[in-house]
Structures are given as structure tokens and as C-alpha cells.
Amino acid sequence: MTAQIHPGNVGSFATSDNPIKRSKSSPGLLSLVLFWLLVACTQSLPPAAETRTVQVQLTVDGKTHNLTTTASNVRELLEEAGVSLNDADEITPPLFTPLEDGMQITIVRVTESIEIIPQSIPFERRIVRNEAMDADDPPVIIQGGKVGLQEQTVRIVYRDGLESERWVTQVTVIEPAQDEIVMVGIGTARGNVLFSGLLAYISDGTAVLLRGNTAAPEQLNTGGPLDGRVFSLSPTGSHLLYTVATTTTTTFSNSLWVVSTAPGATPRPLGIDNVLWAGWNPARTDLMQIAYTTARPTNLPPGWEANNDLWVGNVLQNENTEFNPRQLIESYPATYGWWGGNYAWSPNGRFLAYSYANEIGLIEMETGRRVQLQQFTEYNTLSDWVWVPSLNWSPDGRFLAFTRHGSDDPRELVFDSWLIDTITNVSGRLIAQSGMWAHPYFPPITNPNGTPLAFLRAVDPLDSQRSSYTLWLMDQDGSNARQIFPPPGETSHFSRDQYFMAWGPSGQDIAFIFNNALYLYNLEESTARRITQDDAIASHPTWAPYGAGLTDNLPAAQPVETLPTPESADQFLPEE
């Protein structure tokens, strides 16, 4: 309805001559206006909200309550119920959760306490070996063990008054434990140890030779101090190949020599300097042959830069013939090639196994042809040295044992020992997490009852670079692994050099370096005897005969036109 405004009802302005005339309002019109105003006001008011109630279950302080509430969320419910909260309390569901009928709400009171708990520190037993005592003498306790004391600061968490978590936040040693030191005898000072063949080793820079027994060690005339880079008996044991240090500075410099093991022999220089590696061809007994690699001396660590070359030549054709090697490989571009690689002759003399920081392979010694067998991620030492796998052949010349970096992360300390069939290129992991200094070694002769494999195993494989190691044996198929030295519980300090051990010709004896001393271990007797008795540092044991010098059945290296048979060669990686 539209209100009508009539001219007769409008008042006029008053003047002095025309006073205001007041009109009288109609009672019906006023009622109608009031009616419409009331209707408008009634329509503008919102409808009254409906009150919603829900039933919930509240568990708090060990009691459960069934509540009927008009609260809209958990927070309002707790305020309505007068429940106070602490900062550490656990509320399920959270405070902002809307309430629903039948909801279960739980409050767990969380409190903490700090306690200091005294604890004893057990002592450990250390074994000291004494060559002046016989192996049958009873052990002697030279220092008694003493339990120590420490205090643990423990943070304890309680939920609804019950202990649920306990964390050690600090350990304070009040009094350290004192180890028990027990001395045991090894009996080597009271007798002579017999063995087959010739055994040589380095003692404080000099060459020492043992001829089948430990009673009369001989010092060989080497013409100068040995640097330990090369030290190897020929296959029959008639000669020793070695390097002599030609500088006293940190710069790398040496020369290659050979000397007969006959008494009173005069050493002979081969006229080759700066040799990184050299080794005898194990298949040559008459006209002996060696291979070697060289480096360039530098003023930067480690003191040399490897040439990654390869030379081969016959030695000692007669006393008047000069050593005239031929170069088989001029250079090889390898990862971390400035350090150089490792090498090992195959028993038949046809191949030279090689390894660099991220690969192993074979070199055909007649042609210099190279075949890569396996590739892996190199280990980054973050220092001025490079880790390179050591290599060792099975006595039948088919299998190659080595340790390789086992992670895609170049900084991760994961090292496993592997075996690869060089004919089929089939490989398998023998020992997981054996450690970077595992150095697996085959004996020089096949045993009809099974050919064992000797290797070192890290006590702490997750830190194998600094870990101590123990000496183990296992069958070639990876079974029957057992620790042979030292006995469990004894402190272990093996040399980390890859030439830390050598097998004897019978395959029943092992010479190894332990605590800077030379030991002999016999597999049949399961005993180890210390050979060196002085404080000189022993290293690099080498034992002959081996290869053709041992069996006399292996043919001399003959020219070959191909690597392994075509059926297996296609399993190799492409040659370079």
C-alpha cells in the first residue's frame, strides 16, 4: 500500500501576518501507519536459535564422566565442566574439535621428573701375550680388575602417574673402571718352528730370510734401506724383488733391485726408478719375468703422481744381460688416477688383474688388451690418499677375490668382499661389511677337501677405516666362516697393508703381521706362534715356492690371441 499525501492536510509556514494553522490528524490514518511499522519490525528480527544438546564421555584424572552439554567444542566443554589443563597434558581429541553425540574425550596428565642414578662400570679383560712364557703355563693376572662408578642423569616421563618414558640426558664418570690384564704364554721363545719353503720379511728396513725354520734368520744384502713398496720372492724362492728408498724426504723416490737368496749374493739394480708396483710372473721358473708400474715424484701429497703405465720384461737371463723391458700400456685414465692402482698376476701368467678406485679388470699380458670386469662407486677419503681394492687369485687361476666399496654414496663406509669368475664374469658377495682392509687371500695350492679363503674382518664394520680387525677363514663357497686369531676377547692390532699375510706352500700355514711382529699360524694345530722376538717392526711377509715353482705343472705364459672363450667373453663389459 502507498501512503497518499493530500494538499489540504499539509500545514503552511506562518508569518507575522499569517500565524501557523495546525491541522488535525485523522485517527484512522495513524492506526494504519502504526500497523505497518509493527509488521516491518516483526519481519526484520531473526528467528530464535534452537538449543542443541549432546551427550559425551569425559575421562580425566582416572575417572569417567557421562555429560549432557550444550557446548559446541571440546574447549567449551572443559570450561563448562571446570576442568583445568596443564601445558604438557595430552587432550584427545584436540580442543578445537566440534562435539558430537557419543564422543569420547580423554585427558592424560603428563608430568616429568629428573633423577640421578648411580651405576657401576664393569671392567674389561685385556690379554697380553708373552713369548717368555710357555703356552701351557697358567695365565698370570698382572693387574686386577676394578669396577668403576658413574652417575646417570635420567629424565622420567609419567602419564596419569605411571612411568612411560625414561631418557638418559647425561652420564658423569665418578671413578673409571680399571681393566684386568692377564698375561698368557705363546711359547715361541723356547723352541724352533719348522715349515716348508722360504719365508722372507722386512724388519726395520732390512730383508730377513728364514729357510724352513725360525732358528737361524739371515739378513740379505739389499744395497740400501727398503721402502716396502715392492718386496716379493720369485716363484721358486731363488730371488727377491724389492725397492730401495733413494731419498729421505717426503718426495717419492726409489729404485728397483733383485738379489739372489743364495748366501753371500750381491744385489743387482735393474735401472728402474720410481716404481709403484712390481711383481713376478708366477708361471715362469727358468726365464723369470716381472711386470711393474711407475710414477712421477711431486712436491704435493702423497709425493707422487702415478703414470698408470705397465711394463714387462725378463730378468736375469745371465749376469751380463741388461734388463730391457717393453712398455705394454703407456697410460690409463682412471678415477683418482694420480694415486695409481693395484695389480696381481694370474697363476698361468696370461693375465694381470688390475684395480682402481672404482673398477677391477684384466689385462692380457701378451697384447695389453684391457677388459673391465666390474665397476662400482669410488670411496671418497676426503684426504690425500685413495682406497683401492686389493686383488688375489684362486690357485686354479679362475676366480678373483677382492673387496669393493658397496654404496652409491662415495662417503659411506660400506665395504664388502666379493668373488668373481673371470671366465663367466659371474660374481657374488662373499662377506657383507667385511671392512675396507679385509684383503681376502687364497692359498697357493688347491686343497682336495676344499680351498679356504683367509681374510680380515672389521670389528666395527660401520667405521672400518679406524676399526680393529680379526683374522678369519672360510670355504670358497662362503660357508664355514670362523675367526682363527686372536681368540675372542683379545685386543686385535693387524697391519692394514694389503701384504699383511702370506700363505705357505702346503696351504696349511699362514704368516701374518700382528702388533708389528711376525706370526705363524698352523691350520691343523689351530695355533699361532710369534716368530720375531725383538722390538723391530716386521712387515711384508712373502713365501715361496708358489705357482709354477710349487706345482711345476702350470705352463709358461704363451702368446694368446683372445681373452676367455667367445661363449663367456660376451658376458664381459666392452673393452676400451
Q: What CATH number labels 54-108?
A: 3.10.20
Question: What does the chain come to in residues?
Answer: 576
Q: Is the dihedral of CA 252, 310, 406, 486 positive or negative?
A: negative
Cross-strand bridge partners of residue 538 = 203
**Burial class of residue 326, CB neighbours in 10 A (0-12, 13-18, 19+):** exposed
Q: Is the dihedral of CA 130, 131, 133, 135 positive or negative?
A: positive
Give φ, ψ of 374 to 5 degrees.
-155, 145
pLDDT at site 124: 80
Give φ, ψ of 462 to 5 degrees.
-75, -10
Residue closest to 129 by CA, chosen among 538, 532, 454? 532
Cross-strand bridge partners of residue 376 = none
Q: Distances from the Cα of 258 to the Cαs of 240, 321, 457, in angstroms? A: 6, 14, 34
**Does position 346 have pLDDT exceeding 90, yes or no?**
yes
Taking the C-alpha atoms of residue 302 and residue 388, their distance in angstroms, rounded to an integer, is: 15
Q: How far is CA 423 from the centre of its chain?
A: 29
| CATH architecture classification, 112-184 | Single Sheet (2.20)
Cross-strand bridge partners of residue 109 = none
CB 287 within 8 A of CB 315: no
Quick one: pLDDT band at residue 444, thresholds 50, 70, 90?
very high
**Does position 10 have pLDDT exceeding 70, yes or no?**
no
pLDDT at site 412: 94
3-class SS shares of the chain: helix, strand, coil, % to 5: 5, 45, 50
Residue closest to 523 by CA, chosen among 544, 500, 538, 506? 506
Cell matching residue 292: 711393474
| CATH architecture classification, 191-569 | 7 Propeller (2.130)
**Domain spans in the chain, listed from the N-terminal domain onward:** 54-108, 112-184, 191-569
pLDDT digits (tens, 9 = 90+) for 533-559: 878 899 999 999 999 998 754 333 333
Q: Distances from the Cα of 452 to the Cαs of 394, 421, 446, 505, 523, in angstroms? A: 10, 16, 9, 14, 10
CB-side neighbour CA atoms (13 Å) of 400:
28
**Does position 38 have pLDDT exceeding 80, yes or no?**
no
Q: Mean pLDDT, to the nearest integer, of 224-231?
A: 93
Give φ, ψ of 559 to 5 degrees.
-60, 135
Q: What is the pTM assigned to this prediction?
A: 0.66
Q: Distances from the Cα of 552 to the Cαs of 284, 380, 392, 546, 547, in angstroms? A: 10, 43, 20, 9, 8
CB 254 within 8 A of CB 242: no
Q: Mean pLDDT, to the nearest integer, of 322-336?
A: 94
Cross-strand bridge partners of residue 241 = 232, 258
The more confidently predicted of residues 269 and 490 is 269
pLDDT digits (tens, 9 = 90+) for 415-439: 999 999 999 999 999 999 999 999 9
Taking the C-alpha atoms of residue 59 and residue 55, their distance in angstroms, rounded to an integer, is: 14
pLDDT digits (tens, 9 = 90+) for 75-85: 988 998 889 89
Q: Mean pLDDT, to the nearest integer, of 186-190?
A: 53
Residue closest to 341 by CA, chosen among 375, 390, 374? 390
Taking the C-alpha atoms of residue 369 and residue 241, their distance in angstroms, rounded to an integer, is: 26
Taking the C-alpha atoms of residue 552 and residue 236, their distance in angstroms, rounded to an integer, is: 10
Residue closest to 282 by CA, chosen among 467, 89, 118, 442? 442
Quick one: pLDDT band at residue 493, thresholds 50, 70, 90?
confident
Taking the C-alpha atoms of residue 195 and residue 544, their distance in angstroms, rounded to an integer, is: 11
Q: Mean pLDDT, to the nearest integer, of 61-87?
A: 89
CB 77 within 8 A of CB 65: no
pLDDT at site 31: 58
pLDDT digits (tens, 9 = 90+) for 95-143: 999 999 999 999 999 999 999 999 888 888 777 766 567 667 888 888 8
The more confidently predicted of residues 237 and 136 is 237
Quick one: pLDDT band at residue 249, thresholds 50, 70, 90?
low
pLDDT at site 143: 86
Taking the C-alpha atoms of residue 487 and residue 527, their distance in angstroms, rounded to an integer, is: 10
Cross-strand bridge partners of residue 342 = 355
Mean residue pLDDT across the chain: 84
pLDDT at site 338: 95
